[in-house]
Structure 1
Amino acid sequence: MRPGVGASTGWLAGGLGALVGAALFGVSAGAADITAADIVRHLLSLAAPSVESPLTERQVALLVELRLPRVVMGAVVGALLATAGGAYQGVFRNPLADPYLLGAAAGAGLGATLVLVFGQQVSDAPRALVPVAAFVGALVGVALAYALGATAGGGGTASLVLAGVAVSSFLSAAQTLVQQLGADQLQRIFSWLLGGLGRGGWDDVRLVAPYTVVALAVLLVCGHLLDMLALGDDKAVSLGLNPTVVRAVVIAAASLATAAAVAVSGLIGFVGIVVPHIVRRLVGSNYRAILPVTVLFGGAFMVLVDIVARTVVAPAELPLGVVTAFLGAPFFLLILRSTRHRTS
């Protein structure tokens, strides 16, 4: 039984509340003593001059220049990766489809690494080329995985996952080769690959903002088209839909979302499989509900993961990819097991 419209609207409100709560927690977590209540009072003081802000100028600068852009970037990256995962699962009708498993993240990583290593030789602004190169790499990775899975294993769940693993391994090997060719950039590349949000500040937010708006807008608009695709190609054609065009548009938008996230945060796995599956359990199988709720819960999830990464071993910091792997790998095994039981 699918939840109704009211239930989906309720989960949208719940996702928004989770995102706001995670953001308040994120900007207040850290060595400096700034509480969520202090932040709320400071925001009120901006709107109502009669309310006195409890924050000093130093605390405001810390909040605006360091913590806030990191939280915003966490919400953006989480929303991009989670929504891309949900879209891939819808377009391939495969519960295990994910940017990391389909080769999209590895392809995006290879494209970005090429720019980081060789970009100075072809452009005065290599940083701006990273999302473009990552997008091309993500498209190549997904196309290779899908083609290999369709030709070698019939396009089933297991064959697509195995093809994605093979393509990811190949692209990762190519990435390692590129890293060795750019040994002088090795430390910078490794730091980026392990995943993190605390590097670029507002510059990174501005860099990925246009890609984020385009990718998420296209994916959200395509939600009802994914519902039509779920009925089968013949039924979709009878309803006036061109399945080939829809798949191309959704794959391109999901790959753009993956590329934008990888460009600023590095390789962060499992977000695109964990969050959409949880959301699907909450709202049902309607992608018009799944995708917008996934945007909100994906953002909240990544903000919370980043809090764990920067506080568990403080003053050191864990790579985000390590935290998501600890959380996501057992979850993936549970999904794989349940999928196998349903198909046996």
Structure 2
Amino acid sequence: MTVTAERAAPAVQAPHPARARLGFAGLMVLLALTTLFVVGLAVSFGSVRIPVGDVWAIVAHRLAPGAFESWWSQARESIVLDSRLPRALTAAAVGAALALAGAVAQAVTRNPLADPYLLGVSSGAGFGVVVVTVLGLGVGALGAFTIPVAAFLGALVPLFLSLAIGGRYPQPTAVILVGVASAQVFSALITFSILVVADEHQLSSVMHWLAGGFGDSRWSTAIFPAVALGTVGAAMMLSASRIDLLQAGDDGAAALGMNVRRFRVLQLLGVSMLAGAAVSVAGGIGFIGLLVPHLAGYVVGARAVRLLPVAAFLGAIAMVAADTAARSVARSIEVPVGVVTALVGAPIFVWMLYRQYRRAEQ
């Protein structure tokens, strides 16, 4: 009689909690350093090339005057501190805000195609710009803040309509559908104003804003996305554990004591506030809020506790890189950032969908 002995397969040990935390902490440090590196490269590139070392030396000299002797010209210092650095930091804040808003929108709606402009924020902001630029209402009232404030207030209109009308119904799709309808109405108003009322100069200005870009970025305009990211974004990250409860379904989350309807409405309100602040200074820039959360999910999985901060860093990196590419493609003209994100993001998103569905079929 032959006796066959089978060797027991070794048990797969779960990673030690401290080791897992260290791995995630290391990833966050790597992403933070990568963000600083990309920002430094963005400030370095341009018609006047400035070494990255000089860029950070100029910044350090401004933060600690007299710590060391400067070796750069006053013109280069002005380029770094007054033009390129605020632009790069604004792009980073906008990218982080859009990616974070997209990740939360996809999580609370359980819809992988949800994006930060879910409730018509982009169209409402565009109409706010049209009101100031084409119709001339309130033009110059707030100086450099006129366009950002008009865009932000315009973004709040479809948000208010969505929550006031759709928020009365228990189904989360009601809020989204009202937002989609509002977006169509404001898009029609923008088209009508451009075709019927606007002259050539106004048409060019509005179209350039709608395409998205950071050409008008200053330290003052960086306030909107930075404040939104520091307040609304921080609140979203603190509520990440409750966002994870929604993955068990509304009934499961309610059984754990969550007021699902109120929590979802508050999160969508935060999504629209982040998107409105981003759109107010950068215009409508697509695919960052849609694509980056999926990339973050590939890296750290679907848990919101890890997904949200990783998505924010990846969004900042992607947006700064896209802005740098947009102003480096051609010397005579600056390509809108929205064009770059669409041309790069669309093929990547299609490829990700292909891989996902192919894996599901297998």
TM range (shorter): 0.7 to 0.9
* Secondary structure in structure 1 of the residue aligned to 2:70: coil
> Aligned equivalents of 2:355 and 2:115: distance in 1?
17
Q: Partner of 1:11 in structure 2?
A: 27
Flag the 1:340–1:101 CA change in 2: closer, same or farther, 3 A: farther
Matched, 1:287 2:304: yes
Q: Partner of 2:4 in structure 1?
A: none
By how many angstroms is 1:328 displaced? 1.1
Matched, 1:224 2:244: no
Matched, 1:179 2:200: no
Pick aligned residue for 2:57 from 41, 51, 55: 41
Q: Deviations over 1:41-76 (max 9, x none)?
A: 334445374533232111101111110110011001
Give 5+ residue unaligned stretches, structure 2.
Answer: 1-13
Matched, 1:130 2:151: yes
By how many angstroms is 1:165 displaced? 7.9
Cα RMSD for the two superposed structures: 3.2
Q: Deviations over 1:272-327 (max 9, x none)?
A: 12211111111111101111121112111111111100011123211001100111
Flag the 1:200–1:120 CA change in 2: closer, same or farther, 3 A: farther
What letter corresponds to residue 257 of structure 1 in structure 2? L
> Aligned equivalents of 1:23 and 1:142: distance in 2?
37
What letter corresponds to residue 348 of structure 2 in structure 1? F
- Kindly indicate whether the alpha-carbon contact (under 8 Å) linking 2:152 and 2:280 is maintained by their aligned counterparts in 1: yes
By how many angstroms is 1:179 displaced? 2.5
Superposition map of 1:1-344 within 5 A = 4-46=20-62, 47=64, 49=66, 51-100=68-117, 103-118=120-135, 120-121=137-138, 124-125=141-142, 126-127=146-147, 128-138=149-159, 140=161, 171-184=186-199, 185-338=202-355, 340=357
By how many angstroms is 1:163 displaced? 10
Flag the 1:248–1:271 CA change in 2: closer, same or farther, 3 A: same
- Kindly indicate whether the alpha-carbon contact (under 8 Å) linking 2:128 and 2:150 is maintained by their aligned counterparts in 1: no
Flag the 1:27–1:141 CA change in 2: closer, same or farther, 3 A: farther
| TM-score (structure 2 length as normaliser) | 0.81
- Aligned-residue identity in percent: 34
Flag the 1:116–1:253 CA change in 2: closer, same or farther, 3 A: farther
> Aligned equivalents of 2:184 and 2:314: distance in 1?
29
> Aligned equivalents of 2:293 and 2:72: distance in 1?
38
* Secondary structure in structure 2 of the residue aligned to 1:94: coil
Give aligned pairs, total: 334
- Kindly indicate whether the alpha-carbon contact (under 8 Å) linking 2:32 and 2:313 is maintained by their aligned counterparts in 1: yes
- Kindly indicate whether the alpha-carbon contact (under 8 Å) linking 1:82 and 1:273 is maintained by their aligned counterparts in 2: yes
What letter corresponds to residue 156 of structure 2 in structure 1? F
- Kindly indicate whether the alpha-carbon contact (under 8 Å) linking 1:83 and 1:291 is maintained by their aligned counterparts in 2: yes
- Once the two structures are overlaid, the 10-residue window that deviates more, 239-248 or 213-222, is 213-222
> Aligned equivalents of 1:15 and 1:144: distance in 2?
40
Flag the 1:273–1:187 CA change in 2: closer, same or farther, 3 A: same
| TM-score (structure 1 length as normaliser) | 0.85
- Once the two structures are overlaid, the 10-residue window that deviates more, 209-218 or 290-299, is 209-218
> Aligned equivalents of 1:326 and 1:124: distance in 2?
36
Whose helix proportion is higher, 1 or 2? 1
By how many angstroms is 1:200 displaced? 3.8
Flag the 1:45–1:129 CA change in 2: closer, same or farther, 3 A: closer
- Kindly indicate whether the alpha-carbon contact (under 8 Å) linking 2:101 and 2:275 is maintained by their aligned counterparts in 1: yes
